[in-house]
Amino acid sequence: MASTIALKRRISSVKNTKQITKAMELVSASKMRRAQENAKKSREYQELAYSLLARLSSIKEVDEHPLFEKRKVENKLYVSITSNSGLAGAYNANSLKILGKSILEDGKNKIDSKVITIGKKGAQFVRRLSGVELFSVYPAFGDNPTPNDIRPILNTILAEYREKKVDEIVIIYTKYKSNLVQEASSLSLLPASKDQSTENLDYKYEFTNFEPSVEGVLDSIAERLLEVQLWQCLLESLASEHSMRMLAMKNASDNANDIIGDLTLEFNTARQAGITRELAEISGGVEALKD
């Protein structure tokens, strides 16, 4: 059994750790509310924008536009959204797992992979992979990102696709569903493709007229629609990160309470055993003196 001094030190250490995790839980809860509001406000707009983007990509007149041209996939670019720090449960691990599986599948299909990472954790992961180009690294944009923050990333991926250096661009992010549920997902940014929600819409573009021209319409809205996708993925990931960190820190604080309780019980047992031993020694000494 550990000594009472050692147990006291362990109890004090766990209490200090609990104070840190409790503070981080409260900070994450405060940030989470704001991040949730930002993600929910623009979610419906993003879904409609992606639906429109997918519909446009299915129209023959649009196929010749540089941003909608469909090519055989020989080079793929991933945009991976992670965090700068850990202590957020499985937030980084879930999205990086999807990235790793996708890169492995690309290798089997002889597709070259490039990765743009947002957040240091993603960069650390990609650097350990062989045969994968870490194209560029961006730090996480903090708790209050602005659309201007993602503009350099958007310009980069648009240039890569226009110049035919990549044939497909995929964003890997974490979609916020609730405080307890966050789902790592991937979204095909270019070329946009129909998904189930798009196919279930009642209307179809069988005959389409563009005014003043196809190029004029697409040049004015394509980049904007793509920017909305990237921006919403960033907001969803930010809300998920704070939610998962709050939950992880809450679990850590609860575990600390359990450990403190167990150590306190062990400490009391050790102290009682010491007192009993001392009383026995005193009693033995008194009996020895009587003899």
Domains of the chain: 45-245 (3.40.1380.10)
Q: Which two tokens stand for residue 222?
A: 């394509």
> In this predicted model, which residue has the larger pLDDT, 217 or 85?
85
Average pLDDT of span 44-48: 84
Percentage of residues of the chain with pLDDT beyond 90: 20
Q: What is the pLDDT of residue 202?
A: 45
In contact, 246 and 29? CB cutoff 8 Å? yes
In contact, 243 and 31? CB cutoff 8 Å? no
Condensed to tens digits (0 to 9), the pLDDT of residues 182-227 reads 889 988 888 876 554 444 444 454 556 666 666 777 777 888 888 8
Average pLDDT of span 120-143: 86
Average pLDDT of span 129-147: 84
In contact, 15 and 267? CB cutoff 8 Å? no
Q: What is the pLDDT of residue 103?
A: 92
Whether the model pTM is above 0.85: no
Q: Which residues contact 136 (CB under 8 A, 6 or more apart)?
A: 116, 117, 156
- Decide if pLDDT at 78 tops 90: yes
Condensed to tens digits (0 to 9), the pLDDT of residues 176-189 reads 888 888 889 988 88
Percentage of residues of the chain with pLDDT beyond 70: 90
CA 269 → CA 2, 67, 133, 257, 282, distances in Å? Answer: 10, 72, 58, 18, 20
**Confidence band of 29 (pLDDT split at 50, 70, 90):** confident
> In this predicted model, which residue has the larger pLDDT, 289 or 257?
257
Rounded Cα distance between 50 and 156, Å, is 20
* Average pLDDT of every residue of the chain: 83
Q: Which residues contact 218 (CB under 8 A, 6 or more apart)?
A: 56, 62, 65, 67, 68
Q: What is the pLDDT of residue 1?
A: 52
